[in-house]
Chain A
Amino acid sequence: MFAVHALWHGPGGGRLALWAEDARALDAARGPVPYPGGGAMARPHPFACPAALLADLLGGIGPGLGWLAGQAAERWTTLTLPSLSGVPTASPELLGGRAAPSGVSLHAWRVPALVFEPAEAAQLLGELFDPRWALTSAELDGPGRVDVAYGSSLRWLTAVHDLAWRLVGGGQVLPALVELDGAPYARWQPVLGTADRREATALAEGCPPVARAGRPGTVLLAEVLEALTDREVRATLADHPGVVRLPRGVGAAGEPDGQAAERWFAGLGAGDGLLAVEPGEPRAALDRLADRLAAWHASGGPEQPAVRLCFRLVEPLGPDPADPEGGTSDDHWRLEFLLQAVDEPSLLVTAGELWAGGAAVAAFERKVEDPQGAYLAELDRAVRCRTELRQALRAGRPSGLTLDRDTALDFLREAAPALTSAGFGVLLPSWWQRRPRLGMALTVRGAAPGAAAGRTAGTPPPDGHAWLNRDAVVAFQWRLALEGEPLTAEELADLAAAKRGLVRVRGQWIEMNVRQIADAVDFLTRQGVGESRPGRLLQLILDPGALVAGLPIGAVTATGVFGALLGERVADERAAAGHPAVALPAGFGATLRPYQERGVAWLRSLGRLGLGAVLADDMGLGKTVQALALLAAERGELADSALPGPTLLVCPTSLIANWRREAARFAPMLRVHVQHGPDRPTGDELRAAVAGADLVITTYGLVQRDGPELRGIAWHRVIADEAQNIKNSATAQSRALRSLPAEHRIALTGTPVENRLTELHAILDFANPGLLGSAAAFKERYAIPVEQHANTERTAELLRRTSPFILRRRKDDPAVAVALPPKQEMTVWCTLTAEQAGLYQAVVADLLHRLRGIKGVQRKGAVLGALGKLKQVCNHPAQLLHDGSAVAGRSGKLARLEEVLAEALAEGDRTLVFTQYAEFGTLLHRHLAERLDTEVLYLHGRLSARRRDELVQRFQEPGGGDGPGVFLLSLKAGGTGLNLTAASQVVHLDRWWNPAVEQQATDRAHRIGQHRTVQVRRFVCAGTVEERIAGMIEAKRALAEAAVGEGERWLTDLSDGELRELLTLTEEAIAE
C-alpha cells in the first residue's frame, strides 16, 4: 500500500509537489528514536517513498500519469507531520482508516518529492480528479499490483483544479497584469460568481492542515486557484492557435505604454506569461497598464445592453432553392439573425443588411460604437446558450442558418424558449403561438340494430321510441381530428406516412408526435369502429383528462338520448329533449305536471343507459311523486315476469310514514314493504317480503345496522331520499349505503350542496360510483379552485361534467310554472330582558377572559361553546341555566313569539315554529299550550316514526279553528321531507348558520298543495350576535347556489378584537 500526498509551494505562483508513504517501510521505521531538540535539521522521513519509485507508481497507474511524472523534477521538500517517539505517524490513508495514536506532536520531516510545473500540475490534477474513489492500484515491476491511496491533500488540490477548470470553461476569467516574486506576469485570473464563491469558501475552510504548511486555507486556495486557472486558459488557447495574436500593423516602437500593452497582450498567450524586464528597465509603463487593467476590472457595464440579437424562423415558402426544377420543399426552413435596438424595437435589421453596411449600420451607430462587433458579441453569447447555433459561425459573416423540419422543430420546442429567457428576441410563425391540436373525434349513433339484449329484449317500448336500455349498446366511431374537425382517410394516411414532427395538413403546419400518430393509427385500425355500453362511453367523454390512444377527445357528435345528455341546454330543456315521454298506468293517483313528466322521463332514460341520477329539484316540487311515477311506469309497462326487481328506498326515519302514505296514495299498484321497526323481518322472511315487493322502504340507520342482510339482495335500484344524509362519504352510514349492490341508483335531494362541493361529489359518487374520480382528486381539481379561487373555468368544467346526471329545477324557474302562492319573509326584531342581557354580558366577559393564553383547538372550542351559550341566552335564560325555572316573563323573544302566535290563531292560521334546540322546544311546548289555549304539537328526534306520522296527520287534518294551531318542530327532525301545508305561518326562533337548512324547513309549508300566502318570520335579538350573524346569513344566501359555505367554524378564526366586536351587546338589545 502506498499513500500519495501533495503540497503546493514554490516561486512564481507555486508548484505541485507529490510525495508518498510506503507501507512496506512502515514497520522498519518503528522504534524509539528520540527526536533532536529545537533547531535541529529535519530528518528524512523513514517510510517516505523514493521519488523514482513514486514516478514508477504513477506510471503503474496509467501511462498518462507516467508521462507527466517523467516531466517532474525530483526534489527533497520539508513538511511538518504529526510524530510520536521520533517517528512520523502514518497517514489515515496508509493506515486504512485506523485511528492515529494519541500524544503526537508536529515535527519537520524531509521527503523525496516529484515537483510539477503548473502546466503539468494542472494536467495531473485533472487526471486524478475522481469524486467517487480515493483508492486505485498500480502495476510495479517486482511487487506487482499494489494499492495506491490518494491522500486528502492530493484530493483537495484536484477539487481546486476542478473549480478552476469549470471557471475557464465558462469564460469566467479576466486578463490581468500581476507581480509574482517581484516579476511581472500576464495572467488569466478567475472571476467567481456567487455559487463559485460559496464553493471556494467551503474548500478553503476544509483544506487539510497537512496541505497548508502553516498557511491559512484561503491564502493557499487563492494561490492554487489563480495558478491553475491561468494554466487552464493557456492550455485551451494552445488548442486554438492564433486567437491571441497581435494585430497586424506597426508596433509601438518607442512608445512605452504601447510597448507595455503589446508585451502584456502577447504574454497572455505565450509561455507562463512572464514579461521579461531588463535589469534597470523602468517599470512605469507596466505599472500604468496594471492600473488601467485594475480600473477596467472594477468598471461596471451598462445597465442594459443597447442592442440584442433576434432570431426569426421562416417556414418554407416558394420553390426550394436546392431543387433545380423549382419544386417546393417542406425542409427548407430559414433561421434569420437580426439585430435589434433594445430601446427602439422597431429598429430591426437582418444580419445581411448589417454586413452590407450603409444605412443599417449607420442607424445602429447611434446605439453602439461598433454595430457589427456588437452583433458578433451577441452571436457569441447565443452560441454559448445553444451550441447548435455554432455552425453559423463557420461563415465569415454569419447571417443565419438553414434548417430542415426536424431541426426547425427542435428550435421551436427547445431553443426558442431558452433564447427568449436569455434575453434574445425570438420571432416565430404565428401558428406556433396557437398550435392546431390533434385529437380524437367521436361519433355515437343510437343502439346498434338488434343489439338490445337482456331482460327487456323482445319487449317493445310502449311509447314507440327506439330508446336505449342499460343492456343496449351504441355504435361509435373514432376518428383523428384537427381542431375538432375529423381528418379524411387520405389525410390520415398522409400524416402516418410523414413520420416527421412537423407536418403540413390542409395547408397548415402542425406539430405532431410521430409515435403518438402511429399509436393513434394503430388504434383506429383495430378499435376505431365498434359498439359499446353507453355508460362506459359517457364516462370517457365526460372525463376532461381522458386520452384515447394518447390523444385528447377533441369533438363528440351524438344523437338521440345520448346526444341530449351531452347537450349544452339548460337542465330542464335537456330533460325534455330526447327523452321519450313516460306512460303512467291508469291507476296512478296524480296528474304529473309537465316538468315532473320530463323529470320522470329523464330518470328513466338515465336508468336505461345504466347511469345513476341525482334529482335535485327544489323542496316542494315533487321529487317523491316523480320517483313513484318512475316505479309505477315500470310496473305498468312490464309483465310480472319481466319486472326488473325491487327498488330499495332509503330515507330518514322521520320520512318513513310519509313515503308509505305517498306510495299508497299515488302508486297503489306498487307492492310496498316497509322494512322498519323492531319486528322487521329478517333472513328468509325478509327475502320473501322483498321478493313480493316493488318498493322496499327503510332508513339510513337500518341500512347501516342490517347491512350484511341487505347487501345479500339483488336490488334493481336503490334510491337515497334526502341524500344530503350521505354527503360525508366517510361515515359508516354513507359507506353502508354505497355498499348495497344495485343496477341503478337515484339520489333525491333538494340541497345537493349544503356547504361544500365535496358533498356534491359524495352524492354523485353514490349515483355513479367512480364517475368523478376520487374525493381527493375532485377536491384538488374542483372544490379548491371553485370555492377558494372562484375559478370560472373549473366551474364550467364541473358543470359540464356533472350536468348530465343532475336535474335541478327551482321553484322560480319559468319552465316549472308551479303556481305556488307567494312567500313573505320578514325579520322579527326582539329585545333582551335585563336578566338575558346580564347573562349575555357574563358569557361574553367569560369568553374574552378565557381567550387569554389559549389557542388552537382549545380556543376554537371556547369560541364555539360561547356562541352556543349566547344563542341560548337570546332564546331564554332557563335554556342556558338548565334549572327548570319559570318560563313566563323572562325572554323578549318568547314574548314576541306569544304575540305572533296569538295573532295567527286569531286569524285562523296554523304556524310551524322551528328551533334547533330540543330543550327549548320542550320548554315552549308546555308553556305555549297553557298560554295560547290551543293544541300545540311537538315533533322532535326522540319520537317514533309512528308518532311522527300521527303528528303530521293530525296537523294536516282540516279542522277549521279546532285543530292544532301551533306545530313546534326541532329543525333537525322536522326540517326536511314533511308535508305541512296546513300551515301558512312559519317561525324560525333561532338562527342556523346555513340558509339552505332554514329554507328546507320553510318549504314544509311552502310547497305544492299550499294555497295561501306563507309568512316566514325569523326571530332575531337586535344588537346581539344574532343580528350580526343574520347579516352574514343574508350574504351567504347569495352564495348558496355557488355552493360556497363555511358553517360557523370561520368564527373561531376571528381575532380577539373581532370577536369582541361581534359579540358585544349594544344598547338597543335591552328592553328595560
Chain B
Amino acid sequence: MNDDSTGAARPLDDYWVGDFTLRQDELPPTPRPGRAGPLPVERLAAPDITVRGRGLGTLLAPVYRALTS
C-alpha cells in the first residue's frame, strides 16, 4: 500500500461519506399498491420452456401472485 495523499487537495475527505439519500415514505412502504400495468414477465412473449410438460408461464403465475399480494 502506497502513501498516495501527497500533493492532493485532501482527496480522501469524502472517503467515508457517500452522496445518496434514503427513500422516505409518508406511510410505511408498501409494494406498489394499485399497480395495474403489466409485470415485466407479462410484457414478454410466452417462454419456450416447459417443466414436466407444463409451460413455464403457467408455473410462474402463482409466484408472481405471491410476490405482489
Bound complex: CA A252 to CA B49 (Å): 13
Interface-centre pick from A100, A171, A205, A297 (highest chain B CB count, 10 A)? A171
A174 x B34 contact (CB < 8 A): no
- At the interface, yes or no: A902 with Cβ under 8 Å from chain B? no
Please give, as numbers and ranges, the residues of chain B lying within 8 Å of A191 by CB-CB distance: 40
With a cutoff of 8 Å between Cβ atoms, the chain B residues found around residue A418 in the complex are 34, 36
Asked, given contacts A105-B5, A151-B16, A249-B53, whether A381 binds B31 with beta carbons under 8 Å apart, the answer is no
- When distances are taken between beta carbons in the complex, the residues of chain B under 8 Å from A370 are 58
Give A1061 to B5 CA distance when docked, in angstroms. 72
A262: B residues at CB distance < 8 A: 51-52
Tell me how far the C-beta of A541 lies from the nearest C-beta in chain B, rounded to whole angstroms.
43
Contact A237–B51 (Cβ < 8 Å) = no
Residue pair A299, B44 in contact (C-beta under 8 Å): yes
The 5 tightest CB contacts between A and B, nearest first, are A169-B31, A422-B36, A385-B36, A206-B20, A208-B18
| B1 & A106 in contact (Cβ 8 Å cutoff) | yes
B52 and A250 form a contact (CB under 8 A): yes
A384 near B: Cβ within 8 Å? yes
Whether A162 and B22, one on each chain, are in contact in the complex, defined by CB atoms closer than 8 angstroms, is yes
Q: How far is the CB of B55 from chain A (nearest CB, A)?
A: 8
Q: Is the CB of A129 within 8 A of B22?
A: yes
Q: Is A166 a contact partner of B36 (Cβ separation < 8 A)?
A: no
**Binding-face segment, A288-296, A313-321, A916-924:** A288-296
Interface residues of A in 661-705 (CB under 8 A from B): none
Q: Which of B10, B18, B60 is the most central at the interface, judged by chain A CB atoms within 10 Å of its CB? A: B18
B1-54 residues at the A interface, CB under 8 angstroms: 1-6, 10, 12-24, 29-54
Q: In chain A, residues 70-95, which have Cβ atoms closer than 8 Å to a Cβ of chain B? A: 80-82, 91-93
Taking A106-B1, A191-B40 as known contacts, 13 extra A-B pairs with beta carbons closer than 8 A to each other, sorted by chain A number, are A80-B1, A82-B15, A105-B5, A156-B18, A159-B20, A162-B29, A168-B67, A170-B67, A172-B39, A262-B52, A383-B68, A385-B35, A418-B34
Report if A1039 contacts B (CB, 8 A): no
Assembled-state Cα–Cα distance A100/B68 (Å): 46
A–B Cβ pairs within 8 angstroms, 8 of them: A38-B2, A105-B4, A105-B12, A153-B18, A159-B21, A261-B50, A302-B45, A370-B58
Contact of A300 among B12, B35, B44 (CB under 8 A): B44
- CB-CB under 8 A from B57, the residues of chain A are 373
Would you call A944 an interface residue if the criterion is a C-beta within 8 Å of the partner chain's C-beta atoms?
no
B67 near A171 (CB under 8 angstroms)? yes
Check if A386 sits within 8 Å of B34, measured CB to CB: yes
* Residues of B with C-beta under 8 A to A171: 39-41, 64, 67-68
Judge if A627 is at the interface, Cβ distance under 8 Å. no
Question: Known: A91-B16, A106-B1, A208-B16. Contact between A247 and B37, CB under 8 A?
Answer: no
Q: Determine, out of A238-246, A401-409, A464-472, the stretch whose residues face the partner at the interface.
A: A238-246
Q: How far is the CB of B15 from chain A (nearest CB, A)?
A: 5
**B18, A211: Cβ atoms closer than 8 Å:** yes
A172–B40 CB distance below 8 A:
yes
Across-interface contacts of B5 in A (CB, < 8 A): 103-106
Query: Which residue of B has the minimal Cβ distance to A252?
Result: B52
**Of A130, A170, A237, A252, which is within 8 A of B66 by CB?**
A237
A305–B36 CA distance with the chains assembled, in angstroms: 14
A268-289: which have CB < 8 Å to B? 268, 289
CA distance A252 to B12 in the complex (A): 58
Contact assessment for A292 and B61 in the assembled complex, using a CB-CB cutoff below 8 Å: no
- In the bound complex, do residue A169 and residue B68 qualify as a contact, i.e. CB atoms below 8 Å apart? yes
Smallest Cβ distance from A175 to chain B, in angstroms? 7
Residues 169-212 of A at the B interface (beta carbon under 8 Å)? 169-175, 191, 199, 202-203, 205-211
